């Protein structure tokens, strides 16, 4: 008797080395793509965290006396303005004349009229 199997297809069970190498290359490409996607996601989350951490408080700075006479509008700043020299003589009445806001870039401006009342 010979040691060969009687069925010619019985000896070809399993995968060839070439098939295993192709499957391994496809797997490496998939893992590399997922790694790049994860890195991009982490960068995006870092940028969002940095953006959310800011949340500055905006202060409205009144123009100086000369600038107010010329009609210069008040400015918005993240730095607090210097404290006023003294409190106003009495209560102030604020009348908002117009408001303008934009989202890109995020700005807001308002024209108000202050009268001592």
**Does the pTM exceed 0.75?**
no
pLDDT over threshold 80, residue 57 = no
Distance CA 42, CA 50 (A): 12
Tens digit of pLDDT for each residue in 6-34? 665 666 688 899 999 999 999 999 999 99
| Per-residue CA distances from 63 to 94, 102, 106 (Å) | 16, 22, 21
Mean pLDDT over the full length of the chain: 80
Tens digit of pLDDT for each residue in 81-108? 677 677 667 788 889 999 988 888 888 8
b vs e for 99-117, b when ≥16 Cβ sit within 10 Å of the residue's Cβ?
A: eeeeeeeeeeeeeeeeeee
Domain locations in the chain as residue ranges: 14-54, 59-116
């Amino acid at each position: 008797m010979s040691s060969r199997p009687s069925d010619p297809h019985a000896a070809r069970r399993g995968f060839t080395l070439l098939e295993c190498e192709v499957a391994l290359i496809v797997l490496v490409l998939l893992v590399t793509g997922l790694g790049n996607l994860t890195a991009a996601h982490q960068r995006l989350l870092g940028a969002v965290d940095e953006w959310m951490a800011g949340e500055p408080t905006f202060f409205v700075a009144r123009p100086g006396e000369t600038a107010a006479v010329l009609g210069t509008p008040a400015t918005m700043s993240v730095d607090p303005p210097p404290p006023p020299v003294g409190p106003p003589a009495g209560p102030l009445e604020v009348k908002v004349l117009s408001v303008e806001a934009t989202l890109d870039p995020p700005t807001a401006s308002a024209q108000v009229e202050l009268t001592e009342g």
